[in-house]
Chains A and B, each alone.
Chain A
Amino acid sequence: MIKALGYFIEIIRGGLITTRHFVVNLFYHILKVLGIKTKRKGSVTIQYPEQKKEIASRHRSLHRLMTRPDGKPRCVACMLCVTVCPSECIYVEAAEDPDPEIQKYPAKFIIDLGRCCFCGFCVEACPEDAIRMDTGNVEFAQYSQQDLIYDLDKLIG
Chain B
Amino acid sequence: MQERANEMIKIFIDEKPVDAEEGTTVLKAAERAGIHIPHLCYHPAFPPEGSCRMCLVEIEGFPKLELSCSTVVKEEMKISTKSERVVEARKAVLEFLLAEHPLDCPICDKAGDCKLQDYYYEYGLFESQFKETKEKREKKLKIGKSLILDQERCILCTRCVRFLKEVTKTQDLGVFHRGVHSSVNIYEGTSVENNYSGNLAEICPVGAITDEDFRFQTRSWFLKEGESICPLCSRGCNILIEYHPGFSRFELPNRVYRIKARENPEVNGFWICDRGRYGYSYLDEGRADKIILNKIEGENVLTWENISEYLGEKINSMSSAKKTSGIALILHTWLSNEELFLLHKIFKKDLKVEKIFFADLPEGEADGFLLTSEPSPNRRGAQEIGFDIKAVDLSTLADGTDFLLAFGPFLSGLFSPKYLKGALSKIKRKVLFSSYSHELNSLFDVVIPVALIAEKEGSLTNVEGIVQGFQPALEPPGESLPEWKVLCDLGKELGMDSKFYSEFPSPETILSEMGEKIPFFKKKND
Contacts and interface: CB of A to CB of B under 8 A. Distances in A.
Interface of A: 76-80, 82-83, 88-89, 91, 94-96, 100-101, 103-104, 110, 112, 115, 127-128
A77 B250 contact: no
Contact of A110 (B111, B217, B248, B250): B250
A115 B249 CA distance: 10
B106 A78 contact: yes
Contact of A104 (B107, B221, B249): B107
Contacts of A95: 216
A128 B105 CA distance: 11
A128 B247 contact: no
A88 B248 contact: yes
Contacts of A77: 107, 216
B223 to A, nearest CB: 12
Contact of B215 (A79, A96, A101, A128): A96
B139 interface: yes
A80 B249 CA distance: 17
Given A76-B106, A76-B107, A103 B249 contact: no
Interface residues of B, number: 17
A91 B247 contact: yes
B524 interface: no
Contacts of A96: 215-216
Interface SS of chain B: loop
A79 B249 contact: no
B249 A128 contact: no
B522 interface: no
A91 B219 contact: no
B107 A79 contact: no
Closest 6 CB pairs of A and B: A78-B106, A94-B216, A104-B107, A91-B250, A100-B140, A100-B139
A145 B455 CA distance: 37
A54 to B, nearest CB: 35
5 contacts: A76-B106, A88-B249, A91-B249, A104-B216, A128-B106
Nearest to B219: A79
Nearest to A98: B140
A128 B217 CA distance: 20
Nearest to B212: A96
A6 to B, nearest CB: 47
A79 to B, nearest CB: 5
Contacts of A91: 247, 249-250
Contacts of B250: 91, 110
A78 B139 contact: no
Given A112-B249, A128-B106, A78 B219 contact: yes
B448 to A, nearest CB: 35
Given A83-B219, A96-B215, 4 more contacts: A83-B222, A91-B249, A104-B106, A127-B105
Given A94-B216, A96-B216, A101 B139 contact: yes
Q: Considering residues B107, B215, B247, which has the most beta carbons from chain A within 10 angstroms of its beta carbon?
A: B107
A65 to B, nearest CB: 15
Interface in B204-257: 215-219, 221-222, 247-250
B143 to A, nearest CB: 14
A149 to B, nearest CB: 10
Contact of A80 (B106, B215, B247): B106
Nearest to A96: B216
Interface in B90-146: 105-107, 111, 139-140
Nearest to A112: B249
A78 B249 CA distance: 19
A103 B247 contact: no
B245 to A, nearest CB: 12
Interface in B123-179: 139-140
Interface in B167-205: none
A127 B247 contact: no
B216 A127 contact: no
B147 to A, nearest CB: 15
A146 B82 CA distance: 56
A77 B105 CA distance: 11
Contacts of A104: 106-107, 216
A83 B106 contact: no
B107 A103 contact: yes
A127 to B, nearest CB: 5
A147 B217 CA distance: 28
Contacts of B111: 78
Contacts of B139: 100-101, 103
A99 to B, nearest CB: 10
